[in-house]
Amino acid sequence: MASYHLRVKNDTQPSGKKVSAKSHVDYIFREDGKAHADYINREGAQKDRTDCVFKGSQLPKWAKGSAQKFFSAATRYEDKGNRRYKEIELSLPNELTLEQNREIVGRFIKNHLANHYYAYAIHEKAGELSGERHPHVHIMFSERLIDDVERIKERPACKYFRRAARPLKGEQVASFERRREHGAPKAPKWHDKKYLCEMRADYARIQNEVLSANGYSIRVDHRTLKAQEQEAERNGDFFLSKVCKRTPEEYIGIVSAHKEEGLAAGVRSYRERVQSKQTVLFQADVKQKLEQEFEIKEMIRRAELETFVLLKSEGYKKANLESEPLRNLNEVILSGLARINRRKKDLVSVSNAIERAQSEYLTESERKLFLDYKSRVGERHNLVMLLEELQALNESKPNQQQVFREIESGIQRKIIELDDLFFQLRPELRAIEEKLQSSYRRKNVELVAHGKLQATLVIWRELRKTSEELLRNVAVLRGQIGVREVPKTTFTAKEIRDNLYRQYRSLKAEYERATENRNRLRFKIISPKRAMVIAKNVFVQGAFKKLRVEQYAYKKAKSKYEREMLENRNREMFFNNTNWTNIGEKVQEQYYLTKEKIRLETTRQKLAQTQSYLDSESVRLETLCQTEEAQEKIVLIAAGVLRKNLKVAHEYEESKKRVSDLWQKTQETKKRFQTLDNGYSRLKKNREYRVIRSASDSAKTSTLQEDELVKIIADALLGEKYAVALVAR
């Protein structure tokens, strides 16, 4: 996994004993069977080891490309007490390929070792503790610089490693000739701890840039766990702060891992505890974010709903929004709604964040299989839901049972096919699941998913704030354009009659609009029979629709032909029954009749050919749709058409119910008004009536609207017993 490790080593063992540069380079680069160079370069005694995957160097010509020869000369010619070499160990991200890791190494060397002679080897093997692929690089280099003298003409080995020339008295810099006779100077930066910190930060930056460029979201951090914890706390990222709140691991080299099995076992156990703690924290963090996500989505939904209700209200349409305060408030509301719609597109849900993080750690084929499986699971869920809704709809359409059974049978066959496919994919899916659940991958998946969620946290907060502001502004505008007077509680008989008439007119207009909406929706309803027709047309790629257009054109042409034939027969009858006195007129009329007869005969033949073609095409298309495979596909397409139309079907059913309710209310109000109007002359015009709010009924009557109060008083005036007890005059 992507983890940070940069270690700089000298040519001295912890005991203080000097390590021979020659033996060390042999150990690393495997030249001439020597120990450490052989280890690094996988040559000589270590040549059977296959974990050295790439070697590179920048060496003087006299070394002839051999790191062993260069560092052997360093051991021979460096003064006693001087460092013969330094080594940098770098861990490389195992998410990346060899070429991508070579880019990291190349950029690091360019930034820090371009003016030095060096040799490096990239090793790739299973980690001693984790068992995971563990690419890393060993870089051995001389602290001596490639100075201007060396660039003009290389020094021989016996001179290059000598002490550098010092300026004589009166000189600021030693002369070119004296510098050539002495060794190359050593770079002072390798004694500067500040530079080491800068190099560590730069290596983290290089890794993160290459990871990002190759589509990976995981990042490495060169800082201490304490520094990372403090930054996470400042940012309010309590998950990351708790993850970083742990004791750093002690570095265990390959020798220690083999010699001290107890130490290695302790580190493995510690890593398992850290991973277990991170998983628990991640699950708690996901639960919290799911709750926040649900809460904010509900707030957004409420803000959008109240805004749409306001924008569609009659009061808003009639309001004068040209005045500056109202215009500004209206613009703020519309811009807030637009901002919500725009920012919602940038949101990443918890499930999407986890899926995206997992997909980064799969191969292309695994990713394709994983995403296809998710898609098929969603398809199966939709089919199951559609089947349930169709079964409910089936009860309300008893005259179309046969078509429903065909569609249900097709959906059930498709569900069985998907279940069979899931069974076949089970071994591959289990392998992917095991891969994602391995300790080190799970660790990075959780960190990446958390990072994606944390990045969208700002958007969630912004949406919460925008929704709250939108709700406040909508309430203010609603109050300003629809300010109501103190609710009226007492009414005269005239006010009662006028109010009832207004209610009747309003309900009648609403009933007419609802009826119009119901009729509009009725034409959008797709019956199962029509769905099958649409499905057939889709199956044959629009051929049935084209055929219907041609059939319509044929019927139109045939109808025209029949009219013309009738006119021609009438004309012939007129010709035969006429006593022609002018032979010229008779011949001319006979000529036109003959010509028209020939044209009509040609038209008849063309129509016959067209009809024959249309009949054969219809038979051909029907035959295509009669195969078992075609029937299955057509049924599934029809099911999809009905599924898309279910929303319209539900809206139509609701509109029918609304029309029925409005009709009943309209008739009740009409009857109440007409009865009161018939006896209006017997009522005293200026007497006032109100609904009594007794202690037992105060909770109910205090919430009644003006129209409801009017109905109760009207019922009391008409002698209804329940209302008489509630009304005082």
Output the DSSP codes for 587-605: HHHHHHHHHHHHHHHHHHH
Average pLDDT of the residues of the chain: 82
Q: Provide the pLDDT for residue 695.
A: 38
Of 4-18, 99-113, 301-315, 412-426, which has the strongest mean pLDDT?
99-113
DSSP conformation class of 43: -
Determine the pLDDT at residue 485: 40
Residue 235 pLDDT class (50, 70, 90 cuts): confident
- Residues with Cβ within 8 Å of residue 241, at least 6 apart in sequence: 229, 230, 232, 233
Any idea what DSSP says for residue 247?
Answer: P
Say whether pLDDT at 490 is over 90: no
pLDDT in tens, 394-434: 655 666 677 777 788 888 888 888 888 888 888 888 888 88
CA distance 474 to 3: 51
pLDDT at 23 over 90: no
166-214: per-residue pLDDT in tens? Answer: 888 878 888 888 888 889 999 999 989 999 999 999 999 999 999 999 9
690 - beta bridge partners? 490, 728
3-state secondary structure of 18: strand
Q: Which residue has the tokens 């701890």?
A: 193
What whole-number percentage of the chain has pLDDT above 90?
A: 21
What confidence score (pLDDT) does residue 696 get?
44
Per-residue confidence (pLDDT) for residue 100, from 0 to 100: 93
What digits encode the pLDDT tens for the residues 706-719? 778 888 888 877 77
Q: In angstroms, rounded to a whole number, what is the distance separating the alpha carbons of residues 436 and 503?
A: 66
CA end-to-end span of the chain: 86
Beta bridge partners of 116: 145
Show the tokens assigned to 513: 């609009």
Place of tokens 């265990």: 252
Q: How many CB atoms lie within 10 A of CB 481?
A: 19
User: In 345-400, which ranges are continuous DSSP H helix?
Assistant: 350-359, 364-395
The pLDDT of residue 708 is 81
User: How many Cα atoms within 13 Å fall on the side-chain side of residue 108?
Assistant: 31
Residue 578 is predicted with a pLDDT of 85
**What's the CA gap between 633 and 213, in Å, rounded?**
43
Q: Is the pLDDT of residue 694 over 50?
A: no
Range with the poorest average pLDDT among 46-50, 331-335, 420-424, 578-582: 46-50
Say whether 5 sits in a helix, a strand or coil.
Answer: coil
What digits encode the pLDDT tens for the residues 53-82?
889 999 999 999 889 889 889 888 888 878
pTM for this predicted structure:
0.62
Per DSSP, 216 falls in state -
Average pLDDT over residues 366-386: 84
Q: Mind listing the pLDDT tens digit for each residue in 610-639? A: 999 999 988 988 888 888 888 888 888 888
Within 10 angstroms of residue 191's Cβ, the number of other Cβ atoms is: 10
What DSSP letter does each residue of 71-118 carry, written as one string? Answer: HHHHHHHSPTTS---EEEEEE--TTS-HHHHHHHHHHHHHHHTTTEEE
Say if residues 204 and 349 touch (Cβ distance below 8 Å).
no
CB distance 492 to 688 below 8 Å: yes
Taking the CA atoms of 329, 332, 336 and 342 in sequence, report the sign of the dihedral they define. Answer: positive
How far apart are alpha carbons 162 and 181 in whole angstroms? 9
Specify the pLDDT at position 392: 60
Interval 429-481: pLDDT, tens: 888 888 888 877 888 888 889 888 888 888 988 999 999 999 899 888 888 87
Q: Among 16-25, 282-291, 311-320, 503-512, which stretch is predicted with the lowest mean pLDDT?
A: 16-25
Q: Please write the tens of the pLDDT for every residue from 452-463.
A: 888 888 898 899
pLDDT given at position 92: 92
